[in-house]
């Protein structure tokens, strides 16, 4: 793998504390690949041969069952995905496709497991990462089970607002079709949900959202750190 992205990857929590030697060894065995949009990188059920790192573009994780499909996450630079499958040497539970032209570093799972055994700092970082991912997944379950679709949308908007810097005006950064699937609703339902949030000060213009009555929206959404916070 070329050198160019190494410093960025090295900065990830997952890799920042490991020894130089082990990091170089991981990188040495990896590939940097560029993919066009809409390429299915992983199909669920496949064995997990590589830990993936998105360094450019974006990748959607999704799942299929019985001819239905749902969006589970959208991975943006710089982050890894399918760490759990890699470590357990188990089949991937989700499929992955590029949403746009993307660059992905592929680290052979075998090397990840080998260096996990050799490098205590790396092992510690892996545990942190896994625990975080696990907790994020629990939060998603709570969001799904405890909230109506309207409430999920309202809270999503507040989270997205925060991610985008906190201003009253921000971009969705996701197609509405995909957002609908992510929030477990149909595009039609999402469209109507936006209208239902208008009384709470949500203005929609294409992918631009403006929140004109912040406290009204928060009052309706009732965000909870135990569901909506990234870090907790």
Partner DNA sequence: TGCTGCGATTGATAAATGTCAAACCTTCGT
Partner DNA sequence: ACGAAGGTTTGACATTTATCAATCGCAGCA
Residue 78 binding: pick among a copy of itself, DNA, none (C-beta 5-8 Å cut-off by kind) = none
* Tokens at 224, concatenated: 């909870």
Residues 142-161 that bind DNA (CB under 7 A): 148-150
Polymer length in residues for the chain: 232
49 binds DNA per the rule CB under 7 A:
no
Q: Are strands 50-56 and 79-81 parallel, antiparallel or unpaired?
A: antiparallel
Q: Which residues bind a copy of itself (CB under 8 A)?
A: 44-45, 63-66, 68, 70, 72, 83-85, 87-88, 90-91, 93-94, 116-117, 120, 123-124, 126-128, 130-135, 137-142, 144-147, 151, 184, 222, 224-227, 232
Residue 149 binding: pick among a copy of itself, DNA, none (C-beta 5-8 Å cut-off by kind) = DNA
CB 9, min distance to a copy of itself, A: 21
Nearer to a copy of itself, 11 or 222 (CB): 222
CB 179, min distance to a copy of itself, A: 14
Residues 58-87 that bind DNA (CB under 7 A): none
CB 157 within 8 A of CB 211: yes
DSSP string, the chain: --STTHHHHHTSHHHHTS-HHHHHHHHHT-EEEEE-TT-EEE-TTSB--EEEEEEES-EEEEEEETTEEEEEEEE-SSEEE-HHHHHHT-B-SSEEEESSSEEEEEEEHHHHHHHHHH-HHHHHHHHHHHHHHHHHHHHHHHHHHHS-HHHHHHHHHHHHHHHTTS-SEEE--S-HHHHHHHTTS-HHHHHHHHHHTGGGTEEEETTEEEES-HHHHHHHH---HHHH-S--
CB 186, min distance to a copy of itself, A: 12
Q: Which stretch binds DNA (CB under 7 A): 15-23, 52-60, 111-119, 173-181?
A: 173-181
CB 50, min distance to a copy of itself, A: 16
Residues that bind DNA (rule: CB under 7 A) add up to a total of: 19
Residues 175-194 that bind DNA (CB under 7 A): 175-177, 184-192, 194
CB 204, min distance to a copy of itself, A: 24
Interacting residue ranges for DNA, rule: CB under 7 A: 148-150, 175-177, 184-192, 194-195, 204, 206
């Amino acid at each position: 793998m070329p050198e160019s992205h190494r410093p960025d990857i090295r900065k990830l929590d997952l890799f920042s504390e490991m020894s130089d030697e082990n990091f170089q060894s991981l990188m040495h065995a990896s590939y940097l690949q560029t993919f066009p949009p809409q390429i299915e990188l992983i199909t669920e059920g496949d064995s997990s041969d590589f830990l993936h790192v998105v360094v450019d573009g974006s990748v959607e994780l999704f799942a299929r069952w019985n001819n239905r499909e749902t969006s589970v996450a959208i991975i943006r630079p710089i982050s890894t995905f399918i760490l759990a499958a890699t470590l357990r040497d188990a089949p991937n539970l989700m499929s992955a496709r590029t949403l746009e032209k993307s660059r992905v570093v592929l680290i052979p799972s075998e090397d990840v497991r080998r260096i996990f055994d050799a490098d205590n700092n790396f092992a510690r970082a892996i545990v942190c990462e896994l625990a975080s991912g696990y907790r994020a997944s629990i939060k998603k379950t709570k969001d799904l089970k405890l909230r109506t679709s309207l409430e999920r949308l309202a809270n999503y908007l507040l989270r997205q607002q925060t991610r985008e810097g906190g201003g009253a005006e921000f971009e969705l950064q996701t197609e509405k079709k995909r957002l609908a699937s992510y929030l477990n609703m149909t595009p039609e339902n999402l469209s109507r949900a936006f209208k239902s949030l208008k009384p709470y000060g949500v203005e929609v213009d294409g992918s631009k959202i403006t929140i004109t009555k912040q406290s009204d929206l928060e009052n309706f959404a009732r965000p909870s750190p135990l569901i909506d916070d990234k870090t907790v």
